[in-house]
Amino acid sequence: MNKINQLFSERQDRKLLSLYFCAGCPTLEGTGEIIKTLERRGIDMIEVGIPFSDPLADGPVIQAAGTVALKNGMTLQKLFDQLKAIKNEVHIPLVMMGYLNVIMHYGFEKFFQSCVECGASGAIIPDLPFDDYQKVVKPIADKYDIRVIMMITPETSDERIRFIDDNTDGFIYMVSSASITGAQSNFNEAKVAYFNHINAMNLKNPRMIGFGISNKQTLESAQDNAAGAIIGSKFVALLNETKNPDKAIDLLYEALKK
């Protein structure tokens, strides 16, 4: 069974926590250490960011991390090589998070084959049009048993949400707002109403809520309204600040209690 599906089927008794980091930042060779540390510290799933020069969905923290990673020399091939080196030591799902331009340049067939070879279970491509996903990407991803995770936002129509739910597997990435990534102090009434609306749709796929989660209020709101939460910018900022994944996760856990 794909590790993503296995995670959601086995952990229905508690809420999940997934973290994002940008591979190659703060150091080129730190990918393996970060992943192994996060698994050891109780993280359920990891989004491994593929650095890109023009990440449209990302806020300043993740954009800056991508810039550092590219300057450090991180490439998609180098990232796959790093992941392959730790494949047998990692047991939680890894989800590759990257933009279409980089993956197309690498080649879809080669990309999904490399995901299998390095132990990744899924991919998130924020700027992948859904029609292209269905016609071009999904058949290749299915061939390699890789889950392509699609995003929904408060602007996504109910019709499109149900279409995504019917044509994807793994989980749905529920973006908390229509803005870019970045920490927020709270989720306002409009966001909570959006969460309630999606809950009422009774979708078949589990959902993870991301964008803006950085403290107790936003974490609990996300976990109350989905299978779990995804944290990106807050952890990336702490990792850049400490240059140490253990210290960064300590500080993150502290922040999530406030």
Task: Note whether 217 and 186 are within 8 A (CB).
Answer: yes
Is 241 catalytic? The answer is no
C-alpha torsion sign, points 97, 109, 136, 105: positive
Catalytic residue of the set 58, 131, 132, 155: 58
Is 47 catalytic? The answer is yes
Task: Note whether 243 and 202 are within 8 A (CB).
Answer: no
Task: State the residue for tokens 């390699």.
Answer: 144
173 pairs with which residues across the strands?
151, 208
Angstrom distances, CA of residue 69 to CA of 5, 24, 80, 82, 122: 30, 4, 15, 14, 22
Catalytic residue of the set 39, 44, 47, 165: 47
Query: Would you please indicate which residues are annotated as catalytic (active-site) residues?
Result: 47, 58
